[in-house]
Chain A
């Protein structure tokens, strides 16, 4: 009983810290692309761990909480990929520390194919 409480609250707080970290990264990082990296990874783990923590604290709901957690885990990367592609195609500027840009040729080829 007490062990279950400790594990549950540990997962809950672990998740809360990563949710906070993701939002902090959103403020601190220099350009959109790096911000998106921090936001996607941290908030996904944060919500995943937090929801699992609730599942452990309330064992009757465990299956439902696992469904919610898996749902978050599966959808977050897809949404961020779509957003990032939209951002690149509309020409959002990137940080001056960016060292290599293979994306230009990647999307350039695609345009030629559409023209054919």
Chain B
């Protein structure tokens, strides 16, 4: 995504702050809405330089569509992860084979890497420890593949194709 002008960033910050206000107060009374709008105009004035880089480009329909697809997939992965953990914790023999592996990612932006790290933490048996450039360090509770390529395919593969569309 390309760099954008100041007005674009400002409008984006106002919109995000107003949405946050509405969700946090969770009423639609007109006085609340007007107060929220004025407050978000004022707060965005001081903070729009630091909060966003791409401005309204974040609201492109393609991104929102992929986000809609990604949400349910993410929740489904969390459910699977929890049944996996339940199986490992409850079964008497405790089938664990932990290890620290590294994987590579193709995502360029910081927010993309953050989303990937969070997703990996929530998928079955893996937890991101640290990220540096394009390498992520991961603790895996049942190591299936020790090599970098194999682990990349096994852990990061399913998420990358969604996140690549969302964060680029």
Which chain A positions have C-beta within 8 A of B23? 63-64, 66-67
Which chain B positions have C-beta within 8 A of A88? 100, 129
* B89–A80 CB distance below 8 A: no
Interface size on B, as a range, is 35 or more
Interface size on A, as a range, is 35 or more
Interface-facing stretch out of B38-46, B58-66, B115-123, B158-166: B115-123
Which chain B positions have C-beta within 8 A of A98? 98-100
Residue contacts A-B, CB under 8 angstroms, 22 given = A18-B86, A24-B89, A29-B96, A30-B94, A30-B96, A33-B139, A37-B85, A37-B141, A41-B122, A42-B82, A42-B85, A61-B26, A63-B23, A77-B117, A77-B122, A80-B127, A84-B129, A97-B97, A99-B98, A100-B143, A106-B100, A106-B135
Which A residues are within 8 Å of any B CB, using their own CB? 18, 21-22, 24-25, 28-31, 33-34, 36-38, 40-42, 44-45, 48, 61, 63-64, 66-67, 74, 77-78, 80-81, 84-85, 88, 94-95, 97-103, 106-107, 109-110
